[in-house]
A and B are shown apart, each in its own frame.
Chain A
């Protein structure tokens, strides 16, 4: 048994905390943010030799420097928030909808198709209505398909929704080629540039204001739906435990399908806002990865739509700021991704320290 004479208590062990007080949780988050800034500043300094404070200033400058940048930030925030709010009911139901990207794209494609095909033949008001209905319906349909398969045949929704993304991307590729101007260029260009047919109206001189207001309304409605409606209660029960849901007579299949229809419909709204409200064109990059970023935003906010305003702000701010650093100091995109990565690592990592406490060894093991 000689080899056991040197054994010592492990260096540290990890114990679960009770629910910490809110000030403690937010204190830990604040420390994490400060640490994230220090570490990313340090990394930036080591890699570029620039003064870290200057880097931070550049970040702020990139996000808030001009009123155009502020509007751009708000617009991006609104779009990310919209997709995040869309995936939330599915996630609350523990239905891993990672197909938001595809649902947004298909919604956008439907909007673009209506604008192109019906642009000159029906009145503008009617066209805008058609565009709206079509994109919402398309998003909902794209979510309905995996939901039906999951409800009826227990297929894995993660793989299914993921693959639906690729189908959506390929469909968009196909139609951008078909609709491209000039033919064969592979680019759709601004649709109805002259007539603005099917474009969402602008409020005053603010291009993005209507988008932002619509997303805010959707967010509030979703928060109320999840917390105070019978539907919201049912989907939470299904998410927590399907057998409890069956035990009290909830029709699990119906709830899965209904919730995914709503999730897809809100994705469709995001597609509508992107195509008809912002870009007035369609491409494979219209959703710009928001369907995936939204998953993180939703989780970070613990599925609370109102808290998502904060988390999507954080993500969008980081993206904008980091991009600005790259351009201002002549670095490539990877650098801004490194910075974003470091900060997100700290933000997500700190949740561990909120839930667990680490205790270090108090006494040295007895001298061997």
Chain B
């Protein structure tokens, strides 16, 4: 029935608004059968919104969708499957206690009887057909992130999807896992499936896709053949103008130890090691990068240093003024401040930890300083002028300092947070994924701020996910793998592959009692 000459999917003049924000403005695009199309755009450019409309999560305010040349009305994910469209979301939607197969057939209404055996068989067929690596009877809670993603992909294939949409699938993968995923996707393409992959990583776009559709601030910026384009052109389309992006890394000067961590171990409530025997030194005037697969203990490391998690081991702070040494372990954030330690921390969870989303910029400035003065009442003058200063110096786009920060865009939220932490004149500055979700310009603002702090003699600790950025920005890079240090390398000499290997290195044996339960 399907007209095979027609494109697999065509969007015409799709528009979607959220309140007064236009997330997608008159977007048209086409995906052919047997094609991999990248949808490229900065965060907030409307990629995910557009894909959600194809997958039935949202309904467009205007425009039409055609599948195989026929107009399609997709009101729910169920409808989407009727049109053989399946989406793999960034955040997995799996039941931890179920096996891969149980998750895959969950919610599926087959005509026949429920047969787990048959389903297992079918899953195995799909797995071998495309060259996945997956045990259908493994439970989800025992799986690695990449296996969970595989379950999501197989789930969509099991339902017979011919058009697959993947939302930032590589964000959680190591370089090696990414290569494997791409191999599978190429295999699918050769079997005639259409694949749409959302990403903002340019080198992935160039290595994988046939065509690239670029969105810029909710609008369609054009479609190009991958073979005929390069990074510079794509960046220009994505940002809307020419950009030259360089991180200017200066040589570290007068480095002295500022923070010495020895044998730091953090255990979860259940008693498993989240961080195992971590030792390193952060020096003044230097950026120490921390690389690792997401969830390898980066967060725990920073939170333990900031006094938010109970830990074993030593965290010694060398005071630059008095020369005294203080052990920070076992002290809470307030005690650390009272010791005169100027430790600033930009946490990963900006609105959930670093800031209060429902409070305005002034009240968020006060988080660090509201205790000042002995009185019972708050003093809002100084925080207000600090808020105004940060808004003007960092070019925060906001109607005013009394706007709740949750209303600001991701980049502006981060500027407020980093601005506040830097205003405390730190001697140690820790930042966890400070550019996640930020557009290119805001990202470079943040890199520059970190570099300025380094030149001021601050010991900067930077947890990042983009290895290219880590290699360009940092002086040294510490790699952690499942809670233990797997190596510390010189960022000027190391390669991406070297770090990628360290990220997956099995560190269990070095940690000693790690797998003691065996």
Contacts and interface: CB of A to CB of B under 8 A. Distances in A.
Given A8-B73, A15-B17, A229-B378, 13 more contacts: A1-B82, A7-B75, A15-B18, A15-B19, A15-B61, A228-B377, A230-B370, A232-B378, A237-B367, A243-B352, A247-B354, A248-B367, A251-B334
Interface in B173-224: none
B49 to A, nearest CB: 13
Contact of B370 (A4, A8, A10, A233): A233
B18 A16 contact: yes
B73 A228 contact: no
A249 interface: yes
Contacts of A55: none
Interface string A8-32: 1110010111100000000000000
A247 B73 CA distance: 47
A252 to B, nearest CB: 11
A247 B306 contact: yes
Interface string B75-118: 10001001000000000000000000000000000000000000
Given A237-B367, A247-B345, A10 B356 contact: no
A241 B351 CA distance: 9
Nearest to A6: B73
B371 interface: yes
B73 A7 contact: yes
A249 B377 CA distance: 18
Interface in B103-151: none
Interface in A231-265: 231-233, 236-237, 240-241, 243-244, 246-249, 251
B245 interface: no
Contacts of B75: 7, 10
Given A15-B19, A229-B377, A10 B368 contact: no
Interface string B345-378: 1010101111111110001001110110001111
25 contacts: A1-B82, A4-B73, A7-B73, A8-B73, A9-B73, A10-B75, A15-B18, A16-B18, A16-B19, A228-B378, A229-B376, A229-B378, A230-B370, A237-B356, A240-B358, A243-B349, A243-B352, A244-B353, A244-B354, A244-B355, A247-B308, A247-B347, A248-B368, A249-B332, A249-B336
B501 interface: no
B59 interface: yes
Nearest to B58: A13
Nearest to A19: B407
A251 B75 CA distance: 48
Contacts of A231: 376
A255 B73 CA distance: 52
A243 to B, nearest CB: 5
Nearest to B369: A248
B382 to A, nearest CB: 14
Given A1-B1, A15-B17, A244 B352 contact: yes
A248 B337 CA distance: 10
B9 to A, nearest CB: 15
A4 B363 CA distance: 53
B511 interface: no
Nearest to B406: A240
B337 A249 contact: yes
B333 A249 contact: yes
A13 B59 contact: yes
Given A10-B59, A230-B371, A248-B367, A4 B308 contact: no
Nearest to B76: A10
Contacts of A228: 377-378
Contacts of B357: 240-241
B285 to A, nearest CB: 26
B72 interface: yes
Contacts of B246: none
Contact of B82 (A4, A18, A233): A4
Interface string B57-73: 00101000000001011
A17 B19 contact: yes
B366 A233 contact: yes
Contacts of B3: none
Contacts of A246: 308, 333
A248 B333 contact: yes
Contacts of A16: 18-19
B218 to A, nearest CB: 16
A230 B383 CA distance: 14
Indicate the member of A4, A231, A232 with the most B CB atoms within 10 Å.
A4
A258 to B, nearest CB: 13
Nearest to A366: B71
Contacts of A233: 363, 366, 370, 378
A13 B57 CA distance: 13
Indicate the member of A228, A241, A248 with the most B CB atoms within 10 Å.
A248
B274 to A, nearest CB: 16
Contact of A18 (B20, B79, B306): B20
Contacts of B378: 228-230, 232-233
Contacts of B352: 241, 243-244
A90 to B, nearest CB: 17
A236 B334 CA distance: 18
Interface in A349-368: 359
B339 to A, nearest CB: 12
Contacts of B308: 246-247
B82 A244 contact: no
Nearest to B351: A241
Contacts of B353: 241, 243-244, 247
Indicate the member of A9, A233, A251 with the most B CB atoms within 10 Å.
A233
Nearest to B60: A9
B21 to A, nearest CB: 8
A8 B354 CA distance: 45
B356 A18 contact: no
B311 to A, nearest CB: 15
B493 to A, nearest CB: 36
Given A1-B1, A4-B72, A13-B59, A247 B333 contact: yes
Interface string B8-26: 0000000001111000000
A16 to B, nearest CB: 5
A244 B18 contact: no
Indicate the member of B335, B336, B358 with the most A CB atoms within 10 Å.
B358
Interface in A190-239: 228-233, 236-237
Contacts of B354: 244, 247
A308 to B, nearest CB: 20
A359 B333 CA distance: 49
Contacts of A240: 356-359
A236 B347 contact: no
A241 B18 CA distance: 26
